[in-house]
Chains A and B, each alone.
Chain A
Amino acid sequence: MVGKGGLLVMIKSQQLQRRESLNDPVSRWDRMLEIRYFEDRIKELFAEGLVHGTTHTYQGQEAIAIGIAMTLRPTDNVCCTYRSHGIALALGMTTDSVLGEIMGRAIGSIGGVGGSMHLSDASIGLLPTSAIVGGGIPVAAGAALSAQVLGEDRCAVAVFGDGASNIGAFHEGLNLASVWKLPVVFICENNVYGEYSRINLTTSVEDISIRAESYSMPTEIIDGQSVDKVAQGVARAVERARSGGGPTLLECKTYRYSGHSRADAGLYRPAGELEEWLKRDPIDLYEAQLIEAGLLSKERAQTIRQEIQERIAQLVERVMASPLADVSAMFRNISIGGGQ
């Protein structure tokens, strides 16, 4: 059948193809670069005034998104935040669908009415990303609850920042998941800052992982700059979740290269801190690893970099030329059967 449904299946399969391609190590590297260049371009587009509102970019944290996406099944559920372009792309959303959303285009993942902070794609289990700090944490516990009650072999993942571990939703969500032994993995991206405040100024612990103890929950501290380390940690936690062992808290140590959001130059950071982290750039580390393993050559790597740059340039042109969300879009998907 070639109808609306058929088209839908075709579009969705693109996400699943992108997801499956993460089985190949070189594709993982390619996709980390895709995120990096995508985010660099987003920053420019905002600076050029071509996109309005706000945006929170992901440069420096790419290994976590890829490590998670390559390990989860597309049927698992993911809850994440306003800083989710990277995870959405890693899970398989297309660059058109993400940039389309950011630019208010009809091709955007939710039709262009959400913007940068609001991505979602049911075909890969991505629940609506939340712009409320901590909002997704209990929701992930709930997505795990449905799997438990329905007897499905599914698990749920919440991805959130270090700052989110200071909000009630974190503590309530973890405790609930623990007492109900829910198949959920809580993944904290500890990028050292919550907005303009360094973690030591706002948080009673340096390692968020310590907080797992209060909830009798297994925990690991993971090198968030290493795709393999992230993937292995997530795999252990997911295995525990699926086999009835309950939730896990994973803390990935990482760093956001950009400021908190569009308007922030990150001037509050101590001199040299960014430079230290750049020495362990996740993309460079993985490239070196692939070259060492003989899976990638320096020349090929250079070609891939260029190809992705070109792909992103074409993407921007394509999205800019595509139609804006029309007025009827704001009236869609509010409630079923009529609202007020």
Chain B
Amino acid sequence: MKLRMRQAIAHALADEMRQDARVIIMGEDIAAAGGPFKTSEGLLEEFGPNRVRDTPISEMGFLGAAVGAAATGLRPVVEIMFVEFLGVALDQLVTEAAKFRYLSGGAYGAPLVVRASVGSGLGFGAQHSQTLETWLYATPGLKLVVPSGARTAYGLVRAAIRDENPVAVFEPRVLYAEREEVVLGESGIIPIGTGEILNKGNDVTIVGLGQTVGTALAATQSTTWTADVIDLRSLIPWDREMVCESVARTGRLVLVEESPFSGGWGTEIASYVASECFSELKAPVLRITCPDVPVPYPPHLEKRFLPSSEYVREQIDVLVSTNKRDQPWWVKGGYLS
């Protein structure tokens, strides 16, 4: 069935709620209004106010409540409208939920899901456009998945709800309205920790996450080289086997990231591949990212901020033909060193 990503998410929530009475959802304006991004439309009507709850503007309060509820019998799904608002509640996820199993000698878990919209592209400005995956890195006990469209959103949200651990689902906001063919039902569920090869090729492995998956795919059109394009889908844990197997065939790794260069999610993958697959590499690992700046508001600058498919193609042209890394545009343009 062809669905918009926001509809696929509502389907995933409904399907899990029908099967498991322990699943409840909470968030700001998610019940009566169907969600600020309409990702919970129809759920209040079907499941009622006991399981579908509007909250005050109190992220720490309701995410913390989800931790306690998860430890004592529920499967809460919490919506954080923009991932930045996780900032005021991060303690409850990173320092409480992620440690519950460890700090209870295995007696209590926190099987909750935090869904947050992320990313740039809609003109929301510096405080509402970040992706912030790395806020959750280096937190053993937590998982993080990032859909790249309606199909993966459906499969990952359902898998996240079933997982025994706290799982964050970071949903690229710019994709909510995009339509894609979705496999509904059990067969549509996507195991956490697995990537997906969307395109097969010989010269380079391109890894994307969230909205950069589309960018990576588009970059492979009319090129002199061919590429494996991997949708990582799951960042914590990520599919080391799939990435390393691909790099062993292509000899080149390119990561396309929607976040600043310094400390972006690709650093982990680049460093792992560089040390584990060193002898397989013909060229340096290339991270194609945004510059180290806050997300600019106006459309022409926001577009410039994000790696475009043309830019990705040019960068890979240089990598494949010279086995050397090209400088990023902001260095070539003298904007940053």
Contacts and interface: CB of A to CB of B under 8 A. Distances in A.
Contacts of A328: 335
A281 to B, nearest CB: 27
**What does DSSP make chain A's interface, helix, strand, loop or mixed?**
loop
Contact of A104 (B29, B301, B333): B301
A118 B299 contact: no
Interface stretch (A58-66, A139-147, A159-167, A176-184): A159-167
Contact of B336 (A115, A166, A268, A331): A331
A168 B92 CA distance: 13
B123 A52 contact: yes
A202 interface: yes
Nearest to B29: A196
Contact of B125 (A53, A194, A324): A53
B301 to A, nearest CB: 5
Interface string A149-177: 00000000000000110111100000000
A271 interface: no
A164 B333 CA distance: 42
A133 B56 CA distance: 11
B126 interface: yes
Contacts of B305: 330
Nearest to A133: B57
Q: How many interface residues does chain B have, given as a range?
A: 35 or more
A293 B261 CA distance: 62
A49 to B, nearest CB: 11
Interface in A200-243: 201-203
Given A168-B88, A340-B262, A117 B298 contact: no
B291 interface: yes
A132 B85 contact: yes
A104 B305 CA distance: 15
Interface in A94-129: 103-104, 112-118
B331 to A, nearest CB: 11
A113 B301 CA distance: 8
Contacts of A68: none
B55 interface: yes
A268 B36 CA distance: 13
Contact of A114 (B122, B261, B297): B297
B33 interface: yes
Contacts of A339: 292
Interface of B: 28-29, 32-33, 36, 54-61, 84-85, 87-88, 122-128, 260-262, 291-294, 296-301, 304-305, 330, 333, 335-337
22 contacts: A52-B123, A53-B125, A53-B297, A103-B298, A113-B298, A114-B297, A115-B298, A131-B84, A131-B127, A132-B87, A133-B85, A163-B56, A164-B57, A196-B33, A201-B54, A203-B56, A325-B296, A331-B291, A331-B330, A331-B336, A338-B337, A340-B261
Q: What are the 10 closest A-B residue pairs judged by CB atoms, nearest first? A: A104-B298, A53-B123, A115-B297, A166-B56, A202-B56, A131-B127, A340-B262, A52-B123, A330-B296, A196-B33
